[in-house]
């Protein structure tokens, strides 16, 4: 095995550890299901092929986010019936059109620079001076800063406690139990109600906050607060998961110093890392009209489990020079009417942190950066690291 092959194999093994720590039973069980699509008694129709998976996402006449086993089982009791996560048809498209300007490149890049710029410069400075830095802790503080902008919170309440309270909601959920118990639902509603009070005040204020900007774009208060809740609950965990996993893959595979020396493949490297990690590993749909998925006919009322991680990983090892991710058209963000509206915001956060890491690695020449310590998070919904400590290598 060559040195390059060994590095890629190391990256793969460490990603396997992250996935197995999060879902020690469900992850290997889904991987073991044979074929591109199969009906599994007690689960539903499991789809593991990228083309078939995209077909389900695009077929909103047959498959919906509402109904038995769909995302609405989780989100509607927490956020109410009118948020992007559980809407379909013309109402869904109309709300997306209203929210669209919030995710224009100029807006999200300015929001991210304002929210995370100082902390990212501090990250680069500490690494450049030889300190060890936990990238997970940095990502959590960044997520809290973005939450504060989304709900109109003052910067002095942005801390790890805020992130922990928000992430507790998704922490209640597992692949085997994609809904909340009555006690968990009470906790979740309490957290969202408190954040909603801040967001409501911001909504009636000026346009310096995201809720205020939503009002200016024509969203009524209910639409704005629902959108804020959806962004907070779905966006925080995935970005905190991905940024450390991206750094780990680049360090393990040997690609970080290569990208620092030549950034022409940075976009491909990010896409490849999104492909092999797939921060949201599974998507769910409920069947509303009988439809063929490969060799299986999904029946009305039947749950469809879209194993996005398996479909994405089937294209092979992480390799930005090949960039197998290009053919997937960003499938990790979904497809069709429900393609992730917040994708530009996530990408702006990713690029800001990655630029800082590449800057440090490039400035240190052959020393670069390395993973000094890591610990996968156990029993979480979104596979992630509990800690990933980076430090400058020794030339």
Question: Biggest alpha carbon distance in the chain?
Answer: 62
- The Cα–Cα gap between 200 and 219 comes to 12
Query: In terms of C-beta distances under 8 Å and separation of at least 24 residues, what long-range contacts does 129-134 make, across chains too?
Result: 130/391, 130/392, 131/391, 132/372, 132/389, 132/390, 132/391, 133/389, 133/390, 133/391, 134/387, 134/388, 134/389, 134/390
Domain 3-392 in CATH 1.10.630.10: yes
DSSP 243-289: HHHHHHHHHHHTHHHHHHH-GGGHHHHHHHHHHHH-SS--EEEEESS
Q: Tell me the C-alpha distance between 359 and 185, whole Å.
A: 44
- What does the alpha-carbon distance between residue 152 and residue 196 come to, in Å, rounded to a whole number? 10
Residue-level pLDDT at 175: 61
**pLDDT on residue 28:** 92
Which residue's structure tokens are 């006449």? 61
Which two three-digit tokens encode residue 141?
């503080």
Residues 233, 342 contacting (CB under 8 angstroms): no
Query: pLDDT, tens digit, for every residue of 239-283?
Result: 889 999 999 999 999 999 999 999 999 999 999 999 999 988 899
By the 10 Å C-beta count (0-12 exposed, 13-18 middle, 19+ buried), 221 is classed as: middle
Half-sphere exposure of 221 (CA within 13 A, CB side): 10
DSSP-derived 3-state class of residue 104: coil
Low-confidence ranges of the chain (pLDDT < 70): 1, 154-160, 162, 174-178, 365-367, 394-395
Per-residue confidence (pLDDT) for residue 136, from 0 to 100? 95
User: What is the per-residue pLDDT for 225?
Assistant: 87
pLDDT in tens, 57-76: 999 999 999 888 888 887 88
């Amino acid at each position: 095995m060559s040195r390059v092959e060994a590095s890629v194999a190391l990256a793969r093994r460490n990603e396997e550890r992250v996935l197995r720590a999060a879902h020690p039973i469900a992850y290997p069980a889904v991987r073991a299901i044979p074929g591109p699509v199969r009906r599994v008694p007690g689960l539903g129709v499991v789809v593991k092929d990228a083309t078939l998976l995209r077909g389900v996402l695009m077929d909103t006449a047959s498959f919906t986010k509402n109904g038995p086993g769909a995302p609405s089982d989780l989100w509607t009791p927490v956020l109410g019936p009118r948020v992007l996560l559980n809407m379909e048809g013309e109402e869904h498209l109309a709300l997306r059109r209203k929210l669209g300007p919030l995710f224009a490149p100029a807006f999200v890049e300015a929001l991210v620079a304002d929210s995370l710029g100082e902390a990212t410069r501090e990250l680069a400075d500490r690494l450049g001076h030889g300190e060890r830095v936990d990238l997970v802790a940095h990502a959590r503080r960044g997520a809290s800063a973005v939450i504060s902008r989304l709900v109109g919170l003052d910067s002095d309440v942005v801390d790890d406690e805020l992130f922990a309270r928000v992430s507790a909601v998704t922490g209640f959920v597992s692949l085997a139990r994609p809904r909340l118990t009555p006690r968990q639902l009470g906790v979740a509603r309490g957290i969202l109600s408190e954040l909603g009070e801040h967001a409501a005040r911001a909504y009636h204020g000026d346009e310096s906050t995201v809720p205020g900007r939503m009002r200016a774009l024509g969203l009524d208060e209910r639409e704005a607060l629902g959108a804020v809740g959806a962004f907070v609950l779905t966006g925080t965990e995935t970005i905190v998961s991905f940024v450390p996993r991206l750094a780990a893959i680049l360090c393990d595979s040997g690609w970080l110093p290569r990208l620092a020396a030549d950034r022409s493949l940075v976009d491909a490297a990010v896409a490849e890392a999104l492909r092999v990690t797939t921060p949201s590993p599974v998507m769910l749909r409920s069947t509303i009209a009988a439809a063929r998925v490969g060799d299986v006919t999904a029946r009305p009322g039947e749950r469809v489990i879209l194993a996005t991680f398996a479909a994405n990983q089937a294209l092979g090892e992480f390799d930005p020079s090949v960039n197998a991710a290009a053919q997937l058209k960003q499938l990790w963000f979904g497809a069709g009417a429900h393609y992730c509206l917040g994708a530009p915001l996530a990408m702006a956060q990713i690029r800001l942190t990655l630029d800082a890491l590449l800057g440090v690695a490039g400035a240190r020449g052959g020393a670069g950066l390395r993973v000094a310590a890591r610990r996968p998070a156990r029993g979480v919904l979104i596979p992630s690291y509990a800690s990933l400590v980076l430090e400058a290598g020794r030339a």
